[in-house]
Amino acid sequence: MATFVRTSGEVELIGYPFDLFFHATKEHLIPCQNKSRDKLMSASNSASALAPNVEARQRRGWKSRRVRWSMAITPGLCLLLIMLSLVHAKAAAPLSQSQAAQKSVAGDDLFTGTVVRKIRIEIPKEGLAKLRRYHWERNGNHEERATVPATLQEGDTVYTNVALHLKGAEGSFRPVDHNPAMTLNFDKFARGQRFHGLQKISLNNSVEDPTFLTEKICRELFAAAGVPVPRADFANVELNGRPLGLYVLVEGWNKQFLKRYFKNPNGNLYDSGFIKDINESLEKTSGPDPKDQSDLKTLVAAASEPDLTNRLTRLEKVLDLDQFITSFALQIMMWNWDGYVMNINNYRIYHDPDSGRLVILPHGLDQMFWKPDGLIFPRMRGMLARAVVQIPEGRRRYLERMSQLLTNVYKVEAITNRVVQQAARIRTTLLAHNPQAAKNHERLVAQLCERIALRARSLEQQLGAPTKAIRFDNSGVARLSDWKPKTDFGAPHFAEIAGPDRNVWFHISAPNGSSVGSWRTRVYLETGRYRVEGKIKTRGVVSDPGDPRFGVGLRISNQRFAQKLSGTNEWTNVAYEFDIPEAGEVELVCELRAAKGEAWFDASSLRLIHR
């Protein structure tokens, strides 16, 4: 049964069998054969001629939007439509109020369905030539990016005059003749045109997420936590007859998206671009004055307030702080290393005119859960994140919110079940395009589920013993405590030994062959230069030929020794200097890496110096 949609005095017939369109003429319905690819190519070529002509775009209106047939409604046609609608109504179950509300949201059928939609795109030769000339550059060449007209077909529905440009940055950009990521605007060249009710979508190539799943899964988690975020699903894409395979389909950033979360969608919307913080010039994609960024300057001033009590007050006036802390916590929980908090990348900012506050919105969620044991206070490049956790109350709220999210949103069984469910949805598409990739996909999905579970375990452990801000005395020295053993390889043996004068020695040995073991403690440090130092004694430390990093020494996590001991040594002063470019949590390490031997670390001598 067809669905009848009336817009601007016209009626469209949607949902008939695949090879038929119905043309409404006076009181009759005339079936018309769809010539599929020939029709798509013809529409694509005509779109190329139309795109530069604004008057032509406006004049063609509905006809330029979709190759559907429509006409003004006449009395006879009304009667026929009513009769057909009544038949359809008898077969359809009535919608509840909640179901009706959900159905009214544009694009819901795209993002809550069970099928992977097949999308065929045709770009005329002239457009392809323009797209081939564009390549993303790190120093910024956004103005060189061409937008060209294209034709898109999904099933029997053909959309003409679709504005298309290539998207992506350092990791995800691909040329048009490869597997390009694309943004499609259905309204730009054909006013009023919609794709499942949406003006704008993106098709992401997911080259940085071989599972294709984290965009959808993580956006759903943000939405469940109340963070505004565009929706995502999947599509099987073909470009000019060339199968590209599985893509991630994402809702576009525009006023239509903003209306779902904000009563007033007419505020400033900023695109962060590539690795930029809020104190840099950002591209304003929506808002009354393209050059006015005074709202961002006000936010920067609040985040830079030296008095921490005043900073909190000022931030709450200009920033939706509650929402930001939620987003901040989730980014760390899902280890979004390429997001705003850790890498000042992949975010948008919206200035809500009604509240007067700015809202930070996540974007580009294709590199997630990479580090299951990542610290809950990692090094943070985002000045807003640093500004919040430097405030004792902000730090308390952050930890409290993370605990709440771990209980109410980050539910491992539900998340991993969702991952497996969505993986099953896309398997057929993957298998048809690349059988080997489909085989590897099962392993990648299993690894993703494992990382999600391991991350939850790490979060529980860290939240159970949160890192406290370290205190330095007047000479810039801090004593270190809360050391815990960790095995990285082999079977090292650990012990706390009572030394003379009530001293404690941390002991590590390798009695069973090659081993890597350490005593570790976590500290939160502000930006600056530091030195960790202490006394170490070794006996019979022998290198492992397969480990070029062997020895005994001090370091921080993810770095190598600067000074190390081997063989047998009496108590020796050892130091390691390091810089902290952004405030965050740092793990200090007392380590033994050896085929055999043992080492002692004098706990009373271990200290951190702020240079």
Q: Tell me, what CATH number does 536's domain have? A: 2.60.120.260
Mean pLDDT for back-to-back runs of 10 residues, the chain (611 residues): 34 32 32 43 47 36 37 41 38 35 73 93 94 75 80 96 89 85 95 95 93 97 97 97 95 95 96 92 89 95 96 98 98 96 95 97 95 93 95 95 97 97 94 87 96 97 83 94 94 93 92 96 91 98 92 94 95 96 88 97 97 86
Give the pLDDT confidence score for residue 39 in this predicted structure: 47
- Whether 223 and 418 have beta carbons less than 8 Å apart is answered as no
Instruction: Looking at the structure, tell me whether residues 222 and 284 fall in a common domain.
Output: no
Instruction: Looking at the structure, tell me whether residues 69 and 218 fall in a common domain.
Output: yes
Instruction: Looking at the structure, tell me whether residues 91 and 161 fall in a common domain.
Output: yes
Range of the domain at 364: 255-410
- Summary count for the chain: helices (H), strands (E): 17, 27
Give the pLDDT confidence score for residue 87 in this predicted structure: 37
pLDDT tens sequence across 369-423: 999 999 999 989 999 999 999 999 999 999 999 999 999 999 999 999 999 999 9
Instruction: Looking at the structure, tell me whether residues 319 and 213 fall in a common domain.
Output: no
- The answer to whether residue 142 sits within a structural domain is yes
- The answer to whether residue 324 sits within a structural domain is yes
pLDDT tens sequence across 423-439: 999 999 999 888 888 88
Instruction: Looking at the structure, tell me whether residues 54 and 182 fall in a common domain.
Output: yes
- The answer to whether residue 471 sits within a structural domain is no
- The answer to whether residue 472 sits within a structural domain is no
- The answer to whether residue 86 sits within a structural domain is yes
Instruction: Looking at the structure, tell me whether residues 326 and 245 fall in a common domain.
Output: no
Instruction: Looking at the structure, tell me whether residues 456 and 520 fall in a common domain.
Output: no
Give the pLDDT confidence score for residue 484 in this predicted structure: 94
Distance CA 246, CA 205 (A): 8
Judge if pTM exceeds 0.85. Answer: no
Instruction: Looking at the structure, tell me whether residues 245 and 352 fall in a common domain.
Output: no
Instruction: Looking at the structure, tell me whether residues 209 and 324 fall in a common domain.
Output: no
Tell me how crowded residue 113 is: count the other CB atoms within 10 A of its CB: 13
- The answer to whether residue 136 sits within a structural domain is yes
Domain count, the chain: 4
Task: Tell which of 198, 218, 251 closes a domain.
Answer: 251
- The answer to whether residue 101 sits within a structural domain is yes
pLDDT tens sequence across 114-167: 899 999 999 999 999 999 988 776 665 566 779 999 999 999 999 999 999 998
Task: Tell which of 232, 251, 270 closes a domain.
Answer: 251
Distance CA 315, CA 359 (A): 12
- Whether 196 and 106 have beta carbons less than 8 Å apart is answered as yes
186 contact partners, CB below 8 Å, separation of at least 6: 65, 159, 162, 163, 193, 194, 195, 198, 199, 200
Instruction: Looking at the structure, tell me whether residues 530 and 603 fall in a common domain.
Output: yes
Sign of the dihedral defined by the CA atoms of residues 320, 321, 323, 324, in that order = positive
Residue 114, token pair as written in the block: 């069970």
Instruction: Looking at the structure, tell me whether residues 179 and 298 fall in a common domain.
Output: no
- The answer to whether residue 470 sits within a structural domain is no
Give the pLDDT confidence score for residue 168 in this predicted structure: 79
Instruction: Looking at the structure, tell me whether residues 282 and 145 fall in a common domain.
Output: no
Task: Tell which of 364, 387, 410 closes a domain.
Answer: 410
Distance CA 64, CA 53 (A): 12
Distance CA 174, CA 183 (A): 13
Tell me how crowded residue 469 is: count the other CB atoms within 10 A of its CB: 13
- For all residues of the chain together, what is the average pLDDT? 84
